[in-house]
Amino acid sequence: MQDELASNELMQPGRQQEVIGLHCAGLEEQIKSAPTRLQAEGVLADACEGFDRVCESSILRTFLKQYAHRLFLRYWSP
């Protein structure tokens, strides 16, 4: 039930930005400014581990991990 509610809430663009701001503050800058790809991968891994710890909803965790991965690829795509 909680995942269903989270899914419905995440469909709203304003809510998506709110959730990203709450859980991903500074993440883009950390990924962008990492001196190496390996360090950027570490930032990404740390962020995803954090989502696992603080987000009860699997849908919310998946959404945030996908967002973080897209940020990583924006700056460090092969």
**Would the pTM count as exceeding 0.75?**
yes
3-state secondary structure string, 38-74?
HHHHHHHHHHHHHHHHHCCCHHHHHHHHHHHHHHHHH
Closest CA to 2 of 57, 61, 54: 57
The secondary element (H helix, E strand) that includes residue 2 is helix 2-10
Q: Does the structure show a pLDDT above 90 at 33?
A: yes
Higher per-residue confidence, 5 vs 76: 76
The answer to whether the beta carbons of residues 37 and 76 sit under 8 Å apart is yes
pLDDT band at 13 (very low <50, low <70, confident <90, very high): confident
Cα three-residue angle 52-69-35, rounded to 5 degrees? 105
pLDDT at 3 over 60: no
